Structure 1
Amino acid sequence: MNTAGAILREIAALFIDDEWLALAILALVALCAGLAFGLPGHATGVAAALTVGSILVLAFSVRQGSRRKPR
């Protein structure tokens, strides 16, 4: 049972290692979903916002991660 718990914790850590990154991506997806429902004829613009936003969030996360001291 202890091994199964350790495995589940490791799998969860793959997705929730950086809390800020996970929250920023969820906020971006929620914002783009709101745009998609608010502007139904502008799918290309929403897709562009999601793409550019994802790249910016990832770049910011990488920049912040490079400033952290290694454990």
Structure 2
Amino acid sequence: MNILRIAVKELIGMFIDDGALALFSLLLVLAVGLAVETTLIGPIAGAVLLVAGCLAVLAESVARAARRKFRR
């Protein structure tokens, strides 16, 4: 029964573990969306910025998780 509890905890943790990743992703989408809507940047530049920003947010999240894991 303990193994089942651990498995369920890990499964739930995959989806809600990193709140910073979700928050920064939402802020990035909001900022790029507003910039495109107000014509500060064009749609192509917005798409490039969105992809680059998502990759940067993801890389930062992975680096933070790796630091946390190696400290233990």
TM-score (normalised: structure 2): 0.72
Superposed, which structure 2 residues align to 1:1-71 within 5 Å? Answer: 10=12, 13-39=13-39, 42-69=42-69
User: What are the ranges of 5 or more consecutive residues in structure 2 without an aligned counterpart?
Assistant: 1-7
Following TM superposition, by how much is the alpha carbon of 1:40 offset from its aligned partner in structure 2, in angstroms?
Answer: 7.3
The residue number in structure 2 matching 1:3 is none
Quickly say closer, same or farther: Cα 1:41–1:22, change in 2 above 3 A: closer
TM-score (normalised: structure 1): 0.73
Give the % identical residues: 36
CA contact (8 A) 2:35 2:41 kept: no
Q: Distance in 1 between matches of 2:62 and 2:14?
A: 16
Q: Distance in 1 between matches of 2:26 and 2:52?
A: 15
Q: Over aligned residues, Cα RMSD in angstroms?
A: 2.3
User: What are the ranges of 5 or more consecutive residues in structure 1 without an aligned counterpart?
Assistant: 1-5
**Corresponding residue pairs, total:** 62
